[in-house]
Amino acid sequence: MSLDDLRRGLARYSDGDYSDAVFRTQLSVEDACKSILSFLGVEFEKTHFPSVLVGKLISDKERLKKLNLNKEQIAYLTLIISYASSLEAQGSMPRYSWETEERIIMPSEVYTKEVAKELLELAIESLSNVIKFFCEFKDLPADLSTVVE
């Protein structure tokens, strides 16, 4: 799902629909973070802020020790959440307009080509570190190994 949303986001960016591009890449990064949580056996409720949960996981020394992650894996998780949190902070802004006292502001007014490009670059950095994180595991299930490749 993460890869599909990334592809959609890049296509929407190419089409000039920058707010939808941000929305799609935001979903991509959220799903990638959720895949890490699921892979590590972390149960979680519905959330649009999975990087917060990853952050709590790596700050819980007892739980982290049980997961037996190496320093590189922890470093990748730290990078993932640093990039992902900026995208998650966009919330519903790329999808919906918002009302001020003076007027309604459309997402297209906020998400210009330059803003979308910066956010897409953050998404790609985050997803790159997701791949590096998973590559640290030598015996991945075949379906996950194929996706990581």
What's the predicted TM-score (pTM) here?
0.85
Give tens-digit pLDDT for 91-117: 777 788 788 899 998 888 889 999 999
Among the listed residues 79, 68, 74, 96, the one whose alpha carbon sits nearest the alpha carbon of residue 29: 79
Residue 102's domain comprises: 2-148
Angle among Cα 130, 137, 8 to the nearest 5 degrees reads: 30
What CATH number does residue 83 fall under?
1.20.120.330
- Helix, strand, coil shares of the chain, percent, nearest 5, are 70, 5, 25
pLDDT tens for each residue of 37-47: 999 988 888 88
Hey, what are 111's tokens?
């998400």
Query: What total of structural domains would you count in the chain?
Result: 1
On whether the CB atoms of residues 127 and 29 are closer than 8 A, the answer is yes
